[in-house]
Amino acid sequence: MAILPHPLMIIFVTLMSHTTLSSSSSAAAAAAATYNVASLGAKADGKTDSTKAFLAAWAKACASPKPVVVYVPQGRFFLKNVVFGGKCNNNDVTFRIAGTLVAPSEYRVIGDAGYWIFFEHVNGVTISGGILDAQGTSLWACKTSGKSCPSGATTLGFSNSKNIKIMGLTSLNSQLFHIVINGCNNVKLQGVKVSASSTSPNTDGIHVQASTGVTILNSQIGTGDDCVSIGPGTTNLWIEDIACGPGHGISIGSLGKELKEAGVQNVTVKTATFRGTQNGLRIKSWGRPSSGFARNILFQSAVMINVQNPIIIDQNYCPNNKNCPGQDSGVKVSDATYQDIHGTSATEVAVKFDCSSKSPCNNISLQDVKLTYKNVLPAQASCNHAAGSASGLVQPSSCL
Ligand SMILES: *[C@@H]1O[C@H](CO)[C@@H](O)[C@H](O)[C@H]1NC(C)=O
Ligand SMILES: *[C@@H]1O[C@H](CO)[C@@H](O)[C@H](O)[C@H]1NC(C)=O
């Protein structure tokens, strides 16, 4: 039964909404102008090309000397590859997205563009909410069939930018990586969801490289490649509260592909759950000469559920055994701590440190690590050119 409001109540509500409306709109006017992409020509029908409307909204946002909101209402907005950049008169642009951005289902349209949605040289951009649907399945099928296909576009990229926030964003079925942070400073990702098939090729969830001060919090990533991958030149990275699976785990690497390469330093991965993933916590480098390194790494409080390689350092990465003379990695791995890691390995070797004979791993520390093989069987640890220490209860017993 519907309850009819008392007439006084109606007056009250009208008065209330009137005051709230006027006060909030004046506050909003003072704080931020809003540009609705729908009023600039974008169509929420999922098929009309709205790229120009988004660029028009960005141009207006950047022309403003004050903070700006670009608003994307509910519905599906078809978008081709687009670059947001250029000079801005403010450093406070928020994309508030209620709807979904949809990429062309024909993968060739954006497949060679590098990125679908790309931000370059921006300062103070926030993306809040929204779904990015890259419709990558047809490109995956092309790649899996062995035909020649474009390499694919990363769904969302930030390059050479600073003071970036990505909150409550969902990325679906990327052609290539879902989110890439490259050459950035001070980036916060929170409440991000990534979803793609476990068999989708190279669909890394969040890739960070050449960046400092990146924080990834409270995110849920299921995909066909690394949930989070950490490339050369990443420093001061904080990752906390991550659910990963399916996927290839959280991976520092691949490092050491280049002879002259920046290192990875000061990475914390805290409170992560890995479910049915290929790896849990991985450090991976090419078996090639390189100046790269990975040091000051803390892996803390992880739960492994049926993970093939829960803890792994693999310094002999050399796909197709090509271009890896002698297979010795130059990448130095040191000062890595694995603390409070529990759960089950899907393979007998739960802890594997396969380091470089040229630059062995050192100061690796295992503290309170308890991993079993398939829930009940004892697991094994394997070490190659790895030195360090163990403390607390460590099962399988340490080979360091
Ligand atoms: C390590 O990175 C964290 C952020 O993840 C930062 O707060 C801390 O100051 C950094 N430590 C050093 C020694 O730079
Ligand atoms: C070993 O690594 C830990 C953690 O990164 C660090 O605090 C410590 O100083 C390192 N010890 C040596 C001898 O370098």
pLDDT, one tens digit per residue, over 107-149 is 999 999 999 999 999 999 999 999 999 999 999 999 999 899 9
Give pLDDT tens digits for 381-400: 999 999 999 999 999 999 99
Q: Output 17 or 64, whichever has higher pLDDT.
A: 64
How far does the centroid of ligand 2 lie from the alpha carbon of residue 110, in Å? 46
Element (H, E) at 264: strand 264-275
Quick one: CA torsion of 286, 289, 291, 295, rounded to 10 degrees? 40
Residue 91 CA neighbour count, 13 Å, CB half: 8
Element (H, E) at 86: none
196-212 average pLDDT score: 98
| Token representation of residue 381 | 């640890």
Mutate to test the pocket of ligand 1, among 211, 236, 264 (most ligand atoms within 8 A of CB): 236
What global pTM score does this model have?
A: 0.92
How far does the centroid of ligand 1 lie from the alpha carbon of residue 157, in Å? 24
Region of 247 (left: φ > 0; alpha: ψ -120 to 50; beta: rest) is: left
Whether residue 23 is predicted with pLDDT greater than 70 in this model: the reply is no
Give me the active site residues, please. Answer: 248
Domains of the chain, CATH where assigned = 31-167+180-189 (2.160.20.10), 226-400 (2.160.20.10)
Ligand 1 atom 13 nearest Cα: 266
Give pLDDT tens digits for 226-257: 999 999 999 999 999 999 999 999 999 999 99
280-292 average pLDDT score: 97
Ligand 1 atom 8 nearest Cα: 236
